[in-house]
Amino acid sequence: MNRLEKALEAHDLSRRDFLKGCAALAAAMGLGSSFAPNIARALAQAAERPPVVWVTWQECLGCTESVTKSRNPDFVSLVLDLVSVEYHEAIMAGAGESAHQSLQKTVSAGGYVLVVEGSVATGIENAMTVGGRTSVDIAREVIPAAALVIAIGNCAAFGNVQAAYPNPTGAVGMLEFMESEGMDTEKLVQLTTCPVNPVHLTSTITYFLTRGALPETDHWRRPLVHFGKKVHDMCERRAHFDEGRFVEQLGSEAEFNRYCLYKMGCRGPSTFADCPQVLFNGRTSWCVQAGQCIGCAEKDFWDELIDFYQPLPGIAIPGVGGIRADADTIGIGLAAATGAAIAAHFAVSAARGRLGKTQEVVEKEEEV
Amino acid sequence: MPKIIIDPVTRIEGHLHVEVEVENGVVKDAWTCSTLFRGMETIVEGRPWYDAQHYTERICGVCPAPHGHNSAFALEDAAGVNIPVNGRLMRNLLECGQLLHDHVLWFYVLNGLDYVNVPSALGAKASSEELQTVQRRLQVFVDSGQLGFLESGYWDHPAYTLPPELNLQLAAHYLESVSIQATASEAFAVFGGKFPHHMSTPPGGWSSVPHEEQINRYAFKVREVKDFIDNKMVPDLLAIAPYYLDQASIGQGHGNYFSWGVLDWNDLEEGRPENRFFPQGAIIGALEGNLEVQPVNQLEDVLVWYNSTWQEPFNGVHPYEAKQRPDFTGPHGITEVAGLDRYAWDRSSTLKGVPCEVGPLAEMLMAYLVHGDSHPAKQMVDSTLAAVGQAGNVPVLFSNLGRIAARTLKIQLVADQTLAYVEALRENMKNGDLDFFAPFPDSPSGRGFSGWDAPRGSLAHWVELDGGVVSHYSVITPSGWNFSPRMTSDRIRGPVEEALVGTPVADPERPLEVLRTLHSFDP
């Protein structure tokens, strides 16, 4: 009996259930269900579960919380069957010296998956310490020896709320930190929503396990499959935008009818993420089912996209009647209006020919 | 005197460095040091007033609901906004989803491994097919040679005293609890959009009008969680308690308890804190037998202390005057702090001049003593004390075991109360009340306050608005009470520091007993 069969038996899972889970993962990765058997084979063949070092620095632990809510695979399967979490302060049994030894053992062996949650404090370095070392000290040790680095959540990627003005501690995300340290950012992937979507993490891990490479990313090192499209373009309320039906007051009848939240300040038109497709909490819901999008996948959204309950500036609102052709222009016009960061996203994507690529991905997912 | 440094303290939210001095196998003195600072209060200042709750939710990803709620309540207080009853109901429903997820996760994943010896479960006689399946799964995991997150455990420590069969039962429920807490978070997300960091709670009430299918999904998910709590979690507590009765005389602390109260109850429209399901109040001097519940006045009773923190000193100020001005003076890396005047990032807080313990034990004591026979807490606590042979002995609760029992019993009450809110919401909507939100006033100015307990205990936000902009923001989290470093000119130990004193330590290399006292506070 191979390892997979043993594991399945231990779970009382049929092979069929397992393949179903793999198919869900394949869909999340935008690969199509025909890829599921490849994932299954790769998972079964892995002689050892890949070691994971999961560090938590300047954070709220919300990303760990989010990942413990994962379904297909659930968190227990992730930890017991898919990977081997050698170090994660929030779940590990031992503490202090014993925990530190687990970290040292894994880091000296090298070749682990490094999951980073939280920002690095580079201004007041001692604003973040673990085991007698600052986050800067630890980062310099654990990043170089890692096979890949997955920055989960907006803190690890961009510094998030603690990096918002006036950024009292000099909080920075992984991309900026690694670049400033001259580290190889080709092994970095950033999953930037606040909190991380567990689907993004599990699909990135299994993509790496099955292909030995990272998914194609944008200039922020975000996988295009998850961050290549605007929230607005996939939004379940999009038809109301196109038809000019807007919520004018929170908690109103128009809101009960789930009209478009653009006038309530929704940042969907300037935010690149697939939240409307993968949802949160085991596909239970997502922000726009409860309120507006505040753009939490974007760099510096706490400073650049604020006044969250006022509409984004510089955008023509559709009148009554279908104007679908104009809606896309609005998105592009908006990118220029809402700051250099977003415009740069378009520019870089276009320069790399990735806007076209994104379109292909969309079509592929529609087939699934 | 041998000193033990525990850093990181694991299975907590946040970052904690603890030092204890041990004499004759018992903790003589202790220092708790938070090792994370972000400056969140400073960051909120200067922002549009109605945005504040989005920032402050991010103070804690384990308990975003009470941060969001306190923010919204404080902003409404400052702006003079009265929210509709349905808005309050929705906040209670969201808070219940938060609590249900939190306490289940804490009981098994955070606190459980201090008492449940997972490797021992492999040697148990599995009494059901379900348990056999779990045992096989654990065996495969252990046989793989990659123990991962379990490898660092102190599994041969003599303080693990459960028989293998109970270890197996609890290990099985540990695995199941991960799914159950996810279900509770899904109930939360049905209304809040996602957990953590919901989008539903601007000042004014609730942003969205729920559909019947959402109410259904919420209610059925809560029922699933309630079933687990009633039939597994509470029985697990009663099953393991007899093996750990020593914990009833460890971790006493100062014996001062305090709660802002949480969850509206019999005057939903007014939402008066002293009438909440867990009512506001303070008990000062419980160890001397003083169990009288005193009223709390936030303007007069609360002070923030800076004498042991790495922030500029403003000793003994009210939160409206409190500032965050970092001034680190400790050793690089925060290697060792005992003996330093200033030794933590957290500030300290006093209520009525004394350090106070906050959390479910305080909340249950208030419900028991304030509401008496009219509240289900009374009967539940009395019958539980009787079941463990301690009928009428309330002081036995002032301990690690008391905190664990209080949190477990509390969540059983919350699960029942959650379904009562669902019925109240349905009744209102049936009667045609579809009012969920009061519009934003234009550019409000003023001071506002809200105290509303988080899962870990007393949480309050103080805000000052100037022309629609946040001009001052102050938060005291549960850790801002429990994990206070030494405070006042007398340098009184913080509640957890005091509770650690007297904790036995069998083996300084494996300080399991210290972790038990720490985890009983759900840090």
**Domains plus CATH for chain B?**
3-117+162-519 (1.10.645.10)
Note the pLDDT tens digit of each residue in B19-66: 999 999 999 999 999 999 999 999 999 999 999 999 999 999 999 999
> Are A143 and A4 part of one and the same domain?
no
Cβ contact (<8 Å) for B43 and A165? Answer: yes
Which pLDDT value is given to residue B509?
93
Note the pLDDT tens digit of each residue in B259-311: 999 999 988 888 899 999 999 999 999 999 999 999 999 999 999 999 999 99
Question: B260 to chain A nearest CA, in Å?
Answer: 23
pTM for the full model?
A: 0.91
- Mean pLDDT, to the nearest integer, of A267-280? 97
> Are A33 and A57 part of one and the same domain?
no
Question: A31 to chain B nearest CA, in Å?
Answer: 25
- Structural domain containing residue A210: 49-226
Is A140 an interface residue toward B (CB < 8 Å)? no
Write down which residue in A168, A199, A226 finishes a domain: A226
Q: What is the CATH number of the domain that holds A129?
A: 3.40.50.700
- Mean pLDDT, to the nearest integer, of A227-247? 96
Which pLDDT value is given to residue A332?
42
A201-210 burial code (b ≥16 CB/10 A, e <16): bbbbbbbbbb
Tokens (6 digits) for B188: 């939360």
Residues 108-167 of B with CB under 8 A from A: 109-110, 113, 118, 133, 136-137, 139-141, 144, 146, 148-155
Decide: helix, strand or coil at residue B363: helix
> Are A69 and A193 part of one and the same domain?
yes
Residues of chain A with pLDDT > 70, as a percent, come to: 72
Which pLDDT value is given to residue A149?
98
Note the pLDDT tens digit of each residue in A27-86: 666 665 556 665 665 555 556 899 999 999 999 999 999 999 999 999 999 999 999 999
Which pLDDT value is given to residue B315?
81
Note the pLDDT tens digit of each residue in A114-127: 999 999 999 999 99
Tokens (6 digits) for B182: 């996810």
> Are A177 and A275 part of one and the same domain?
no
- Mean pLDDT, to the nearest integer, of B231-248? 96
Residues of chain B with pLDDT > 70, as a percent, come to: 100
Question: Predicted confidence band at A353 (pLDDT cuts at 50, 70, 90)?
Answer: very low
Q: Which of A4, A73, A13, A12 is nearest to B130 (CA)?
A: A12
> Are A357 and A218 part of one and the same domain?
no
Q: Is the model's pLDDT at A343 over the cut of 70?
A: no
Which pLDDT value is given to residue A36?
64
Residues of chain B with pLDDT > 90, as a percent, come to: 97
Question: Predicted confidence band at A312 (pLDDT cuts at 50, 70, 90)?
Answer: confident
Which pLDDT value is given to residue B271?
86
| Residue in the block written with tokens 């009209």 | A259
> Are A58 and A90 part of one and the same domain?
yes
Cα–Cα distance, B64 to A2 (Å, whole number): 43
Cβ contact (<8 Å) for B9 and A96? Answer: yes
Name chain B contacts of A84, Cβ cutoff 8 Å: 144, 146, 148
> Are A89 and A20 part of one and the same domain?
no
Write down which residue in A226, A259, A294 finishes a domain: A226
Question: Predicted confidence band at A359 (pLDDT cuts at 50, 70, 90)?
Answer: very low
Which pLDDT value is given to residue A93?
97
Mean pLDDT, chain A, integer:
84
> Are A200 and A260 part of one and the same domain?
no
List Cβ neighbours of B511 (8 Å cut-off, separation of 6 or more): A95, A96, B4, B6, B20, B505
> Are A182 and A262 part of one and the same domain?
no
Which pLDDT value is given to residue B387?
87
List Cβ neighbours of A306 (8 Å cut-off, separation of 6 or more): B47, B48, B51
> Are A38 and A70 part of one and the same domain?
no
Q: Which chain B residue has its CA at the smallest distance from A286's CA? A: B193
Q: Which residue would you say has higher pLDDT here, A355 or A58?
A: A58
Cβ contact (<8 Å) for B10 and A134? Answer: no
**Which among A135, A250, A292 is the top mutation candidate for probing chain B, defined by the most B β-carbons within 10 Å of its own β-carbon?**
A250
- Mean pLDDT, to the nearest integer, of A296-308? 95
Give B124's Cβ-side CA count (13 Å radius).
29
Question: Predicted confidence band at A260 (pLDDT cuts at 50, 70, 90)?
Answer: very high
Which region among A15-19, A169-173, A283-287, A336-340 has the lowest average model confidence (pLDDT)?
Answer: A336-340
Query: What's the number of domains chain A is made of?
Result: 3
Which region among A243-252, A329-338, B121-130, B233-242 has the lowest average model confidence (pLDDT)?
Answer: A329-338
Continuous segment of H or E residues that includes residue A228? none
Q: Is the model's pLDDT at A134 over the cut of 80?
A: yes
Residues 292-331 of A with CB under 8 A from B: 292-294, 296, 302, 306-310
Q: Which of A126, A131, A285 sits opposite B194 (nearest CB)?
A: A285
Which pLDDT value is given to residue B267?
83
Q: Which of B480, B266, B516, B494 is nearest to B402 (CA)?
A: B516
Whether A99 and A92 have beta carbons less than 8 Å apart is answered as: yes
> Are A177 and A285 part of one and the same domain?
no
- Mean pLDDT, to the nearest integer, of B339-352? 97
Q: What is the CATH number of the domain that holds A259?
A: 4.10.480.10
Cβ contact (<8 Å) for A285 and B47? Answer: no
Decide: helix, strand or coil at residue A142: helix
- Mean pLDDT, to the nearest integer, of B481-506? 97
Which pLDDT value is given to residue B101?
98
List Cβ neighbours of A347 (8 Å cut-off, separation of 6 or more): none
Residues 164-193 of A with CB under 8 A from B: 164-169, 171
- Mean pLDDT, to the nearest integer, of B167-179? 98
> Are A93 and A215 part of one and the same domain?
yes
Q: Is the model's pLDDT at B466 over the cut of 80?
A: yes
Residues 64-123 of A with CB under 8 A from B: 64-66, 68-71, 74-76, 79-80, 84-102, 121
